[in-house]
A and B are shown apart, each in its own frame.
Chain A
Amino acid sequence: MAQTGKPALTAKQKARQSTIRLAKQSWELYLFLLIPVAFIIIFHYVPMIGVQIAFRKYRIVDGIWGSKWVGFAQFQKFFKSPQFKTIVPNTIILSLYGLFASFPIPIILALALNVLRNKRFKMTIQMISYMPHFISTVVLVGMLIAILNPRIGMYGIIYQSFHDGKAPKDLMGQAGLFRHLYVWSGVWQNMGWSSIIYLAALSAVDTELHEAAQIDGASRYKRVIHIDFPTILPTAIILLIMNAGRIMSIGFEKAYLMQNNLNKSTSEIISTYVYYVGMTSGTGDFSYATAIDLFNAVINLIMLVVVNAISKKVTDTSLW
């Protein structure tokens, strides 16, 4: 065993040595790495020291290092809390719905834009569709609330003019509608922006492929399906895997802003719950909030690994 292992090791060492030699040769290029690496260490690794407070009962007086160890008590508190049963499914459903609704639409938009012949028209559409991306969440939700107001909003006024002045039901107050409003306003806001990466991938399509297909008599539609789509598929899958790794860390702001007492049964997600319970009360329960976030991070990691493994099996595209 040891003998068979040894040559392999030396091969690895050789590879490593050559990497180092290469690095020495063009050290100026490697110097560029310094900044991002430093950034990641300072802002992503160093703060991880603080994760330990998830296993402590953190008190301001005692600080991070001095607070009492409590093991998994914070996690147990979360799992045992009566809302656990609703907020975890709420989070996962909202996130998956958002993922699957917002994933295909930018691809379709990019494919459609790509076949447009009128360049000016194409640029205009692209511009208009990605502009909402720059609206901040607060403003977007404010617009949504103002437009949907049953009495004084655009929706309400139009409805009233058809129904003898009677105001419609309040859409924001219906628990069943919350997810649709959340997801589709997000799709509207981000489809243009998300399509940019696919458009970039599409520009890499070899024109010879198209010419060959045209000679073979392929229609425009067939070319989109058989040439354009396969080209951007790896990009799409990588993005899907990465999005799957964010399933539990769905944004706090938007759900919080759209929330009210009538839609809470679907709109209360982990992050808003943590905010109410951990951050708005007293001096803030940092340990509890950290524990819940750590729980989220673990689920995210698992999702990422699973989706990556599936993708590797099915499509041969994977992150590693």
Chain B
Amino acid sequence: MLRSKPINEKLKKLQIEIQGYADEYGLDYFPQIFEMCDYQTINILAAQEGFPTRYPHWRFGMQFDQMSKGYRFGIQKIYEMVINTNPCYAYLLEVNNWVDQKLVMAHVYGHNDFFKNNAWFANTDRKMMDTMANHGAKVRRYIEKYGIDRVENFIDAILSLENLIDMNHLFETDEVRNQREETNKQFAYENSLEYEAYDQKSEALKTYLRSKNRTAKKQSDLVVEDFPNIPKTIPEKPVKDILHFLLEYAPIEEWEADIIGILREEAYYYLPQRITKIMNEGWASYWHSKIMTERALDASEIIDFADKHAGVMVMSKERINPYKVGIELFRDIEHRWDTGKFGKEYLECTNMVDKHSWDQKLAKGKEKIFQVRKTHNDISFIDEFLTPEFCDRQQMFTYKYNPRSHRFEIDKRDFQAIKQKLLMSLTNFGSPVIELVDANFDNKAEVLLTHRHDGVDLDAKFANETMKNIFRVWKRPVNLATTYEDKEVVFRFDGKELSVKS
């Protein structure tokens, strides 16, 4: 109990069979390990976002609570979980029947191939099992030293800033990263208070010294004169990775810096999965469907499989189902590149009969989808491959809130509108784009953030709470420039109260 165990011989045979099909189709995957769990174990794993050891935090308990209830009341059931590591771990649920296990295995090989090959995953930590365990151990040590309340409160504050990271960092090669770190060091060197100490001392000691220097004075007494070497504005360019900025420059203690580092690392680990949800699920579903229907299914299992597959593909009016849109889009791409339904000639063809029966017998579909799964993320996937015909076939529409009837209503079935709305919801992994533009705002070491407004206001209550959490770390007033209810405003939290300036 409460531990996953290796799968039995029968399932091992099944794995070999499924893996054979995966090879046949040309999937390229990390070594795959399946483990078996009972429902409670899988609930725990899911509550901890896939890893058996996490740092202690109440939200895992909350997630566990909800998941257990969901299972008990039959609202939700987790069939499988797959973790982006090398070797790739996947957990099967004990009570699944034979067809389910087949389906899940085939699905997992799809995910595994995606993890290994998609470019956005290239820099993820494939030893995350160990890394997570280390994070757990570190946080537990801090809890022993500083007490659970203090540490947990600080974690709460940082979790609140978890989405203030920069998607582009995923793409950095080691070279670029080193270079950036060099520049940062240079920058810090020129501007740090303890630049004499810098050369000889290690990074960790540096953080410590800096925090000591800064916390020596009472925070309320801090004035800009305490930062004599701050250039007129830092940072030089607007920063999206605000967590990193705080880690480097905020007057915090060493353990606090370490916790920011831990949470930031985990946020970046999960980020690729957030920006490839449609593709990843679509790809895995494409392969479970293909492997099952073309190879693995026994005739007696067809009804069960169809039932399960349909359950996964169910469409909703309130949101798009990434499994459904993903699989259909991959199939559409395959079809278009098989028949040549793309390019200038096809697009400019006005004869609908010709267009419909268009077939240049290119047979490039398979090659194309493998290439797509390698280089795209959800945004570019939708941007490049969504077509009016596809939206039509998939019965897609946009909806919006109708203040008169107090409900969300279908707005349009217009291709451009659908595409734009979809892209907007995917931009910056669905989070508002917030940048730190000035850490010496008004020459008072205050933080100025800007929100790049794309037509949708921030949730003011949440924004204010989040600003309080930034204040907790930066310890000087926090300003946020945004557009709210069609007015340009600056929200400000000065440590005591919130105010709005327009």
A pairs with B: no
A contact set with B: CB distance below 8 Å: none
Which residues of B are interface residues toward A (Cβ below 8 A)?
none
